[in-house]
Structure 1
Amino acid sequence: MDNASGHVPVDQRILVKPDPVEEVSKGGIILADTTRDRSKYAATKATLVAVGCNAFRDWGDHARKPMPGERVLFAQYTGAREKGADGEDYIIMNDEDLLTVIEGASE
C-alpha cells in the first residue's frame, strides 16, 4: 500500500486512514456538520497505512500481525488526528489500540 500521507510512524505507533463519515443517513436525511464531526471522531474502522519499526513486537511470536492495506478496527477516540500531505485525514495511534483485523476485507 502506498503511503501518501507524508507521515511515517515511529516505534510502536501505527498510521491508519479512517473510513469516511457518511453525509446522508440511510434514510436519506442530510446530517448536520456537528453530527458528522462527532461521527468522524468516533469512527472505529480504518485501513492500516503504515507501521512503526517496533509495532506489534509485544504481541508475541505466534500472533497474527496486521499488514498495511488491511482493514482494522480500533478503539474509539484514540490517537492523534492529523491531515496528511495528500489532504486526507489520518490517525496515529499506539499498536495496542488496534482491536482486530477485519478478515476478508481489504482496501
Structure 2
Amino acid sequence: MVEVEKSETEKRMAASGLHMPGDSKERDRLANMMGRIVIAASDARYGLPDMAGRKAVFGRYAGTTVKGADGEDYRILYDEDVKGVFNA
C-alpha cells in the first residue's frame, strides 16, 4: 500500500468546483493524477526505504480518499495502481 497527498493542482480543482478541459490533450492529462508519497508499506512493489517525499503518478479514480488527522485529504493506493515514481 502507498499513501499519497494530493498535488496542489488537484487541491485547486477540488476547491474551485467542476473543471471542463478544453481539448483532448487536457483530458488525457487529467486522467492521471500526481501526488507526493507520504509513506509506503515495506512490502509494496516500490517499497524502498527512501520512498517518502517522491512523486507518484496514478489513475484519477485509483484508490480511496481519506481525511487524515491533520485535516488533509490523502489517497490510499494499491501499489499496482501506481504508474510511476520519480524524484521531485
TM-score (normalised: structure 2) = 0.68
Equivalent residue number for residue 38 of structure 2:
49
> Unmatched 5+ residue regions in structure 1?
1-12, 24-30
The answer as to whether partners of 2:56 and 2:84 remain within 8 angstroms in 1 is yes
The Cα RMSD (Å) is 2.9
Q: Is the 1:49–1:69 Cα contact (8 Å) retained in structure 2?
A: yes
**Greater fraction helix:** 2
Report how many residues are paired: 75
- Letter of the 2:75 partner, please give it: I
Residue 6 of structure 1: aligned partner: none
Q: Percent identity?
A: 31
Which 4+ residue blocks in structure 1 deviate beyond 6 angstroms?
none
Residue identity in the other structure for 1:74: F
With the length of structure 1 as denominator, give the TM-score of the two structures.
Answer: 0.57
Question: Residue 85 in 1 paired to residue 69 in 2?
Answer: yes
Distance 1:47 1:32 in 2: 21
Q: Flag the structure with larger Rg.
A: 1
Contact 2:32/2:57 (8 A) holds in 1: no
2:83 matches 1:95 = no
